[in-house]
Structure 1
Amino acid sequence: MGIQDVIRWLVPKEEHFFDILEKQATTAREGVAAVLAEDDVAKASEVLQSFEHKGDQLVHEMEEALAKTFVTPIDREDLHHLSSELDDVLDLANGAAKAARLFGVDAFSPAMRELMKVLHDCTVVVDKAIPLLRKHAYGEIVELSRELRKLEKEGDRIYKAEVSRLFKDPSIDGKVLIREKAVLDDLENALDHCDELASVLANLAVKHA
């Protein structure tokens, strides 16, 4: 047991940090699910805006809580990292919807929807993993981290296959390629942040197990 663990054992913990993280994870999951449920790109962008606004408020709440609290349930750097990554997932999902709307994409392509489905699956896993932090269920967290990494690899495969198709198909107009790749890039980046969440969660499990 390290000195930080001793201090946390002696001093009352601030459990509300877990409340914030859990709200962030749920907001990310609900936001991506809402986009999946929409066929209209403009409507999807509008829907995600409200979730992104809620996510931004939660990040601000986390930053304020960290600034005011001496003893945190886990390292403050880890709390901040988790909070930032959760917010980035939602921001990039919103970025994909915004890019689609900006470049005149009327409907998400099959590949875009595949990536969104994988992203949603990732947010479901994260939403399961985050509440386990307050329970110290580190074995389960490690398993869910592995599941996250598998999903990210599947998303990476879909992304590369679609980008390759866009570049190789001579019938695809350059403007179409640019606008579709912009949306795909944001979705793939959102999945990268899910992979980073997997790393942070796995490292936390090793650190505190």
Structure 2
Amino acid sequence: MILRRKGPKEDFYDLFTQAGNNLLEGTKLLAQTVSAPEPDRAEHRNALHDVEHRNDEITHTVARMLDQTFVTPMDRDDISLLASTLDDCLDLIDEVADIIVLYKIAEIPSRVTQQVEILQQCAELTAEAMPKLKTLKNLKSFTVEINRLENEGDKAYRKMLAELFETESDPIAVIKLKDIIESLEAAIDRFETLANTVETVYLKES
């Protein structure tokens, strides 16, 4: 049986909420990176780097708190997995922006923008869901919707690859765009892992 901590002290739930908000900010900056002219993209990517570093601190704080806390509000392994998966999501979003800047893609295909929009929706849902961990209420819809978005992302991913191989003749351009497409797919997939982790928590703790 897991005893729950009492008192107003800042806890793991606050940190998860902050991480969710960082994801929201991160996907907004990714969208700005994608939509900006090529020379201006680094500015948005750099801002995204800052958000990613801020989120790393949250992950480290969670780890320290786990070491220092005898009684945790939920299973220790679940706390650690939630923190690391939230961090993974932002790491992968940051990776997409970094690749786009480093590869100096002149024109980004419209389907990339669609994938970024899916990531933004995932981040919005996550930012709304993280505060609900404290009561474990109304979380089922989060996992269902994230899974729906991941399926939508899978379909868009396959279409993008097919169009890329069909329309792009420059092999270097194919390699660059394929890297971007696959990084976007990995980021969306990680949100599904996050949703599955949240589902495990509320089924176990409810």
Residue 179 of structure 2 is matched in structure 1 by 182
Q: CA deviation at 1:108?
A: 3.3
Cα deviation, 1:67-119, whole Å, max 9, x if unaligned, reads 11111111111111111111111111110111112222135321111111100
Q: Call closer, same or farther: CA 1:132–1:181 in 2, change over 3 Å.
A: same
Residue 84 of structure 2 is matched in structure 1 by 84
Tell me if structure 1 keeps the 8 A contact 2:20–2:130.
Answer: yes
Tell me if structure 2 keeps the 8 A contact 1:15–1:73.
Answer: no
Q: Percent identity?
A: 28
Alignment of 1:37-186 (within 5 A): 37-38=32-33, 39-40=36-37, 41-137=41-137, 140-169=138-167, 171-186=168-183
In 1, Cα distance between equivalents of 2:135 and 2:70: 21
TM-score (norm 1): 0.90
In 2, Cα distance between equivalents of 1:43 and 1:108: 17
Q: Call closer, same or farther: CA 1:154–1:191 in 2, change over 3 Å.
A: same
Tell me if structure 2 keeps the 8 A contact 1:35–1:47.
Answer: no
In 1, Cα distance between equivalents of 2:133 and 2:57: 22
In 2, Cα distance between equivalents of 1:204 and 1:136: 8
In 2, Cα distance between equivalents of 1:118 and 1:63: 30
Tell me if structure 1 keeps the 8 A contact 2:29–2:45.
Answer: no
Query: Amino acid of the residue matched to residue 98 of structure 1?
Result: D
Report the aligned-residue RMSD: 1.6
TM-score (norm 2): 0.91
Query: Amino acid of the residue matched to residue 58 of structure 2?
Result: L
Report how many residues are paired: 200
Query: Amino acid of the residue matched to residue 187 of structure 2?
Result: A
Q: CA deviation at 1:46?
A: 1.4
In 1, Cα distance between equivalents of 2:50 and 2:107: 20
What 5-or-longer segments of structure 1 have no aligned partner?
A: none
Q: CA deviation at 1:168?
A: 2.6
Matched residue SS, 1:130? helix
Q: CA deviation at 1:135?
A: 1.9
In 2, Cα distance between equivalents of 1:43 and 1:162: 27
Tell me if structure 2 keeps the 8 A contact 1:142–1:201.
Answer: no
Tell me if structure 2 keeps the 8 A contact 1:112–1:184.
Answer: yes
Q: CA deviation at 1:42?
A: 2.1
Of 15, 18, 38, the match for 1:20: 15
Residue 195 of structure 2 is matched in structure 1 by 198
Residue 30 of structure 1 is matched in structure 2 by 25
**Where has structure 1 moved over 4 Å in runs of 4 or more?**
none
Matched residue SS, 1:131? helix
In 2, Cα distance between equivalents of 1:95 and 1:101: 10
